[in-house]
Structure 1
């Protein structure tokens, strides 16, 4: 069911990793290296990707590389939102990719890129077209964020929430569809860029949108999907039934799944951004998910992917 697995999400963003608990990221580097090794042992041919960094920072990637975090990775990933949060223009995408390519020989995936409709739907429609022009052919995987707007009744995953002003509220307007499934202007044009342009859509535990999302993804011509399996959710009653339902619904897509979110009871602090008390436990979760959804397939599992060309 899986094309690739990613280890964590935006580790250099304090909304996703508590930097005060891990200055210099040695705990993060150890955690993802243990997880990558565990996944490699379960399914050697499954593509392993470092969680998308945001901001796009070659110095941060160099720091992780020097600590061994990339040793068992096949690719690295970046996230960029120049029309909403980043301090660079959308036209600088080629330069941003080049900055990362200069510090690693690994392929650079763009696993989140998007434009909100906070100001106007026309801005998103233009941003979709310009993003496709700039990235298709330059990155082997591109995932538009996202299919749905975040429901207003749910909190966005940030540290300071409403105190962030308009930056916070933009999180709720990133979808090609309104939260009720009504298509926006950009949705009418997405098929022009699929399947080269995939989609990133996170599903919450027992998400009511799952089946409708699958129908929309097919309608839009999507073949490559990025989503997540939450380590924190794995402690909920009925977690395996939900994971099975989610992955079965997504069968037929080339799925990149992100493993992330520390269970509160297993963190150094009780928060999903915390470094874990025992990093091997995250590795065990990743390995269990791979055994369940991407087991090694006989002799095909004996060989690693053949570098950048195999991932393009």
Structure 2
């Protein structure tokens, strides 16, 4: 059973939306409204979430509110990976959620949070524990990214692989299970 539908993924991230084609995000906003309304007409019980924004940006959320998008969704999603990609520290999670909560009274879902084991599996274990401490009770819903490491032969979705350098390879180490299915130390903590 589908209980929720996320409208887009990281629309304010250049890897997932081209700001040159839609510099003021008006086309995105219109598409999001149409999608939310289509979901509601098909099944009003499905929770509609404005796609997880990354970076977490209150100005972007205010823009979406100004376009009326937030009147058509039931929750807003944010994505954060402060130990791997974001330019803020892990202890800033409550502040980041608070910034979005000042824009909207809608529930804030952390629809992607994760820590890679690229540097060390112990770092992932610590990051999972710390993320849980900071997020549980502050976000309406928290979804861990990801269960499995990505297979190395897959390419990660990014428009700037060359610019990312070694941080690109962190995409492949986000799972609680290794690519071969064996558990990492963080899995037991997660369960």
Give the TM-score normalised by structure 1.
0.60
Alpha-carbon contact 2:145-2:174 (below 8 Å) kept: yes
Measured in 2, the distance between the counterparts of 1:163 and 1:6 equals 28
What whole-Å deviation, never above 9, does each CA across 1:244-285 have from its counterpart, x for those lacking one? xxxxxxxxxxxxxxxxxxxxxxxxxxxxxxxxxxxxxxxxxx
Tell me the equivalent position of 1:118: 118
- Deviation of 1:162 after TM superposition, in Å, equals 3.8
Q: Looking at CA atoms only, which structure, 1 or 2, has the larger radius of gyration?
A: 1
- Deviation of 1:9 after TM superposition, in Å, equals 0.2
Measured in 1, the distance between the counterparts of 2:135 and 2:129 equals 10
Alpha-carbon contact 2:114-2:174 (below 8 Å) kept: yes
2:131 equivalent to 1:131: yes
2:87 equivalent to 1:87: yes
Q: Paired residues, what number?
A: 191
Tell me the equivalent position of 1:107: 107
Q: Match of 1:170, SS? A: helix
Measured in 2, the distance between the counterparts of 1:160 and 1:93 equals 26
Q: Match of 1:189, SS? A: helix
Tell me the equivalent position of 1:177: 177
Q: Match of 2:68, SS? A: coil
5+ residue gaps, structure 2, are none
- Deviation of 1:70 after TM superposition, in Å, equals 1.5
Alpha-carbon contact 2:6-2:50 (below 8 Å) kept: yes
Alpha-carbon contact 1:162-1:169 (below 8 Å) kept: no
2:55 equivalent to 1:28: no
Measured in 2, the distance between the counterparts of 1:92 and 1:11 equals 22
Tell me the equivalent position of 1:96: 96
- Deviation of 1:45 after TM superposition, in Å, equals 2.1
5+ residue gaps, structure 1, are 192-312
Tell me the equivalent position of 2:47: 47
- Deviation of 1:180 after TM superposition, in Å, equals 1.0
Alpha-carbon contact 2:3-2:45 (below 8 Å) kept: no
Tell me the equivalent position of 1:10: 10
Q: CA RMSD in A?
A: 0.9
Q: Which runs of 4+ in 1 moved over 4 A?
A: none
- Deviation of 1:164 after TM superposition, in Å, equals 1.5
Q: Match of 2:143, SS? A: strand
2:160 equivalent to 1:160: yes
- Deviation of 1:43 after TM superposition, in Å, equals 1.2
2:70 equivalent to 1:70: yes
- Deviation of 1:188 after TM superposition, in Å, equals 2.0
- Deviation of 1:160 after TM superposition, in Å, equals 1.9
- Deviation of 1:99 after TM superposition, in Å, equals 0.3
Give the TM-score normalised by structure 2.
0.97
Q: Match of 1:164, SS? A: helix
Q: Which has the higher contact order (CA 8 A, sep 6+)?
A: 1
- Deviation of 1:71 after TM superposition, in Å, equals 1.7
